[in-house]
Structure formats: structure tokens, C-alpha cells
Amino acid sequence: MQMQQKKKIKGFTIIELLVVIAIIAVISGAAIPQFANWSKERAVKNSAERIKDLAVSINSQVQRGLYGFAQFSIIPLADDEGYSFQTNGMLMSNLATNISETDDWHQTSVRCKNEDAFWDHLGASNNRAEVRSFNIDNVNTSIDNESGVCFSKDGSYFKAHGTLKNNLNVTVENRSTNQYLILCTTSNASNGGKCPLDQGGGLEKPAYLVEWTRFGNISKFKWSGSDWTRQN
């Protein structure tokens, strides 16, 4: 009886194995590109969310009165290893001192400079919840040099420097703005490592735009392929 049962057990034929392999190859060929696209979308989206949260957080400290003046800075890292994002804060007492005693306070190079001694609390070195820093290395942005934006509570001392000072206008919700940062995939950043600004420049999905105003209002938008759509 056992001999008869053994004779009935059959393995896969070569043809059957080839069919199985072909099916697996077809499924893998369809799934791998979808996973790659999902991974790129997630990387750009997560970076945009972190950047928006960083800017919102430091502005909230200004609105609460903890800081009289604050900076959101972006520093490209050496050897194309990504970007460092950092927030810095200036206490109200030191803001008053700087306004009254600092020559050329109205100049961006003076008011919004990236010198550590200029700020009371530094995101890169202070162990404080109010100021933070982080690096990203899997997406690109629309800047190519050290840049930043500085906020005050009433918007009177708002300033930008670096690439962000000379941003070209882009259209968002049928209006023009030059107060933004665009994030895109590294493969889409063909203009000297910078993200294109619009469809005509070659901007592709996935891409996100983080916009701010002089009063510290921060918004996030997603690129649809032809225009920017507001996100929560």
C-alpha cells in the first residue's frame, strides 16, 4: 500500500516550474515600480511635513512671547549629503538691545545672520524643546546655498536671506508668491541639484511646497502635475 501511495506523489514538471517563475516575474515587475513610486512619495511628503512642523513650532514660540525674533534656516550639507534644517530663537530682551544698539539692523545680512553668537537658543546645540534641528538626505529642495527666514510677532522684522531672499514667483491658488521652499525627488532635481519651480521647468510628482508669510503663517501644498493643491 505504501509503495502505491509513493508512486502517486508527483513533483512539478519543468514546464510547470517555468510557468510559476513567469507568473512571479510578471507580478514582481508590476509591484516593484509601484513600491519605488510609493517610497519616493513618502520620502518627499514626510520631509515636507517635518519642515512645516519645524517652522510652525518656532513661530508659535514667537507668538507666545518666548522669543521676540526667530530664525528658520536651511543649510545644504557638503558633498551633496542632504540638508540641515534648524530653528534659532532670540529672547525679547536681546531683541530690544539689538534694535537699539546694532548698526544697520534694517539690513538682512545683519538682522537674519547665521552666527551662533547672535541667537540665544540654537536648534543645533541647545537641549531645548523650543528650538530644534534635523537633517534630510533623500530629497532635494529649491535652494542651492545657505538660506533662512526670520520672523517677529507682528511681522515688522520679517526678513529672508540666501536663495529664499531672491525666490522667483510661483503661482499658488491663483496668486503669486516668492515665500516658499519646494521639495522634490533627487532624480527630478536636474537644475544644479535644485528642484524645478513649475511644470514648464520640468517639475514632476511627487513634489511639495511649504509656504510662509511675514506673520509666520505656514502652509503646505502638493504638486498635482500642473498646479499646487493645499494640504492639511
Q: What is the pLDDT along the chain (232 residues), one digit of tens a residue?
A: 455 555 555 566 888 778 878 887 777 666 666 656 767 899 999 999 999 999 999 999 999 999 999 999 999 998 888 999 999 999 999 998 888 888 787 777 788 888 888 899 999 888 888 999 999 988 999 998 999 999 998 888 898 999 999 999 999 999 999 999 999 998 898 656 899 999 888 999 999 999 999 988 999 999 999 999 999 8
Residue 10 CA to residue 166 CA, distance in Å, equals 73
Decide: 114 and 146 in contact? Cβ < 8 Å: yes
- Distance between CA atoms of residues 196 and 12, nearest Å: 53
Strands 159-161 and 175-177: unpaired
Closest to 150 in 3D by CA, of 109, 182, 188: 109
Q: What is the pLDDT of residue 116?
A: 85
Q: Which amino acid is at 180?
A: Y
CA angle 42, 44, 50 (to 5 degrees): 95
